[in-house]
């Protein structure tokens, strides 16, 4: 009856392909009243920088049809606090623990990753695509040269599996993906949020104090799916798909488009149990289709 | 501070003022864990983000909580259409709640609510018995007045103010507040309401040197502390912090709040 849902991404085995997306699950401690962290295949922790950051002024959240905007702006306790304060508990409670690292300068990335290299974190996700911070990574992620430079810098100081998270706010995401692959990334994750905006028509002010913010949720799923499909077809390294995944059917679509694992974020805000429902749905799909491994469906979409 | 996420049956629904709804929900686990000043995070079908609504009253014997909210947009409108007998999908109870204190027999506490900030003050008032609590409630006008009888029912000596004088005293909640503080019997002030009201209450509490707690509001996503969306500025011991309204609050010490 019970199926093996495990997948392997960049050599790292995930007991199931459902990962909590960075920025939506904190450091894994906030939902443990509802279910243990080890139900999830992995967790990508809140974007962390070399030094602590206070983030952007509030309001940082706005709702949209079938989605939301956020302009949190990388509020985090800094890399040292992550390593000493959160990582030990995460390793005890969870499966695959992914540190998500952002920075303003190449040296920020280098120093933060150097400190992680000697820890037992399982994987490092490079955030070169936060839309909410000037030089909070976004400026690196929007050009091939920038994305390549960060990847190269970090690759030189760590042997940890390296996942680079791509922004959709570019002309051609495939070019960025190839540039990152060429500098030694072990896998890619995409998409980060799309840059968006909402205005309060009574006050004529943007709802977000930052004016603009990252757009996520079910509304972005088709865009994410398309980009994952394009990127997965263009690179040889593994791809982790995210962007609006809410149901097991969404996750299966994303895997058929070429993702070996998926990340969920905004759906957790709507329903904290949604990742578990996706995992159950994936198992059911395996049974119904007599699959031995979910990897059998990865990239199997047959385009017209 | 355990919380739950489940669908709980609605026992009672009523519209207590135009566009303001009261719900009693059967949720024994939540009622048992809940404290005055905490909130529930309700899923509105078809909407991405849940709506944070403060807990108005807790009845542990009956295993129920009561919430009161105003229809502000499409999401709360959707929520207000839920009939008795249907279920409410809630994450609850969330946040820290007000600090309830032992106070000397000759002292009293004051609860202050403004507009839709009034509901959480009812449960707070109910924590104090033996005529120990004074309530000051402010509303825009007579049509917006809610819960006055409920405050009297839980034993609070209740003063109502309206901005236009169409009911109770005309003017701001700070006038009856200062009147009461002048009597020198106040041990503690609790407040929830719009930012200008909170600022006035915080300043008044400072002038009279009375401990004060306020409940803050902010646009929220997860409600449990994970997303860091609902930031507020807090100053403690000369240092500035950005904290989460949902998990570190919604109740903060007045002297630490930067509004």
Q: Give the model confidence (pLDDT) of A218-238 as tens digits.
A: 999 999 999 999 999 999 999
- The predicted pLDDT at position A132 comes to 59
Closest C-alpha to A51, from A80, A23, A94: A80
Percent of chain B with pLDDT over 90: 96
Does the annotation mark A45 as catalytic?
Answer: no
In this complex, the residue of A33, A72, A272 whose CB is nearest that of residue B228 is: A72
Quote the ipTM score. 0.94
Q: What average pLDDT score do residues A72-93 get?
A: 97
DSSP state of A218: G
pLDDT band, residue B131 (cuts 50/70/90): confident
* Residues in A touching B223 (Cβ below 8 Å): 269
In this complex, the residue of B48, B91, B220 whose CB is nearest that of residue A266 is: B48
Give the 3-state secondary structure of residue B16: strand
In this complex, the residue of B3, B49, B218 whose CB is nearest that of residue A68 is: B49
> Are the Cβ atoms of A75 and B231 closer than 8 angstroms?
yes
Task: Identify the H or E element spanning A14.
Answer: strand A12-14
pLDDT band, residue A68 (cuts 50/70/90): very high
Kindly list the strands in the beta sheet with A213-216, ordered across the sheet, starting from the edge strand earlier in the chain: A61-64, A67-70, A213-216, A194-196
Domain boundaries, chain B: 4-94, 108-215
Across the strands, what pairs with A196? Answer: A213
* Beta strand residue intervals within chain B, DSSP E: 4-17, 20-26, 39-42, 51-59, 64-70, 87-94, 108-114, 133-139, 157-162, 169-170, 186-192, 212-215, 231-236, 239-244, 251-253, 257-258
Give burial (CB, 10 Å; 0-12/13-18/19+) of B208.
Answer: middle
Counting DSSP H helices and E strands in chain A, the numbers are 10, 16
DSSP state of A129: -
Task: Please tell me which residue in A45, A130, A144, A187 is annotated as part of the active site.
Answer: A130
- According to CATH, the topology of domain A7-297 is TIM Barrel (3.20.20)
- The predicted pLDDT at position A141 comes to 92
Counting DSSP H helices and E strands in chain B, the numbers are 6, 16
Q: Give the model confidence (pLDDT) of B202-255 as tens digits.
A: 999 999 999 999 999 999 999 999 999 999 999 999 999 999 999 999 999 999
DSSP state of A219: G
- According to CATH, the topology of domain B4-94 is Elongation Factor Tu (Ef-tu); domain 3 (2.40.30)
Distance CA B34, CA A194 (A): 38
Predicted TM-score (pTM) of the model is: 0.95
- Per-chain mean pLDDT for chain A: 95
> Are the Cβ atoms of B48 and A66 closer than 8 angstroms?
yes
Q: Give the model confidence (pLDDT) of B57-110 as tens digits.
A: 999 999 999 999 999 999 999 999 999 999 999 999 999 999 999 999 899 999
- According to CATH, the topology of domain B108-215 is Rossmann fold (3.40.50)
């Amino acid at each position: 009856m019970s199926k093996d849902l495990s997948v392997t991404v960049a050599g790292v085995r995930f007991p199931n392909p459902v990962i909590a997306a960075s920025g939506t699950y904190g450091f894994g401690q906030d939902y443990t009243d509802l279910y243990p962290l080890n139900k999830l295949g992995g967790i990508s922790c809140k974007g962390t920088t070399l030094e602590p950051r206070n983030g952007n002024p509030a309001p940082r959240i706005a709702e949209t049809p079938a989605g939301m905007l956020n302009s949190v702006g990388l509020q985090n306790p800094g890399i040292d606090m992550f390593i000493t304060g959160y990582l030990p508990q995460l390793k005890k409670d969870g499966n695959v623990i992914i540190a998500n690292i952002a920075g303003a300068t190449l040296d920020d990335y280098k120093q933060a990753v150097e400190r992680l290299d000697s820890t037992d974190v399982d994987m490092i996700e490079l955030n070169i695509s936060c839309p909410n911070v000037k030089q909070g990574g976004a400026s690196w992620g929007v050009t091939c040269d920038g994305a390549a430079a960060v990847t190269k810098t970090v690759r030189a100081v760590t042997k940890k599996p390296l996942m680079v998270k791509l922004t959709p706010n570019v002309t051609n995401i495939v070019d960025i993906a190839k540039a990152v692959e060429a500098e030694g990334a072990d896998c890619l994750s995409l998409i980060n949020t799309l840059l968006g905006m909402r205005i309060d028509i009574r006050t004529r002010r943007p709802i977000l104090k930052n004016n603009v913010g990252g757009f996520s949720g079910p509304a972005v799923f088709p865009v994410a799916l398309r980009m994952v499909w394009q990127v997965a077809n263009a690179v040889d390294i593994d791809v982790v798909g995210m962007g609006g995944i809410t149901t097991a059917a969404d996750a299966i679509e994303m895997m058929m488009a070429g993702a070996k694992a998926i990340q969920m974020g905004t759906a957790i805000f709507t329903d904290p149990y949604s990742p578990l429902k996706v995992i159950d749905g994936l198992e059911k799909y395996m049974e119904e289709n007599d699959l031995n491994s979910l990897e059998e469906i990865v990239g199997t979409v047959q385009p017209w | 501070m355990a919380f739950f996420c489940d669908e709980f049956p609605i026992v009672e629904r009523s519209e207590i003022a135009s566009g303001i709804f009261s719900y009693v929900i059967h949720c024994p686990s939540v009622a048992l864990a809940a404290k005055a000043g905490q909130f529930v995070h309700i899923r509105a079908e078809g909407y991405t983000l849940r709506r944070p609504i403060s807990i108005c009253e807790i009845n542990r014997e009956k295993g129920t909580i009561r919430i009161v909210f105003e229809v502000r947009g499409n999401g709360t409108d959707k929520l207000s259409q839920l009939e008795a007998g249907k279920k409410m999908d809630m994450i609850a109870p969330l946040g820290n709640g007000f600090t309830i204190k032992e106070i000397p027999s000759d002292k009293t506490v004051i609860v202050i609510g403004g507009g839709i900030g009034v509901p959480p003050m009812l449960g707070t008032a109910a924590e104090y018995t033996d005529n120990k609590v004074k309530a000051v409630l402010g509303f825009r006008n007579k049509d917006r007045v809610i819960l006055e009888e409920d405050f009297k029912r839980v034993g609070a000596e209740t003063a109502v103010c309206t901005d236009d004088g169409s009911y109770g005293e005309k003017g701001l909640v700070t006038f009856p507040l200062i009147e009461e503080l002048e009597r020198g019997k106040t041990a503690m002030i609790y407040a929830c309401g719009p930012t200008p009201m909170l600022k006035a209450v915080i300043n008044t509490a400072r002038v009279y040197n009375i401990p004060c707690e306020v409940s803050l509001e902010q646009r929220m996503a997860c409600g449990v502390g994970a997303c860091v969306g609902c930031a507020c500025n807090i100053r403690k011991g000369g240092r500035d912090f950005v904290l989460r309204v949902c998990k570190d609050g919604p109740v903060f010490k007045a002297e630490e709040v930067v509004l």
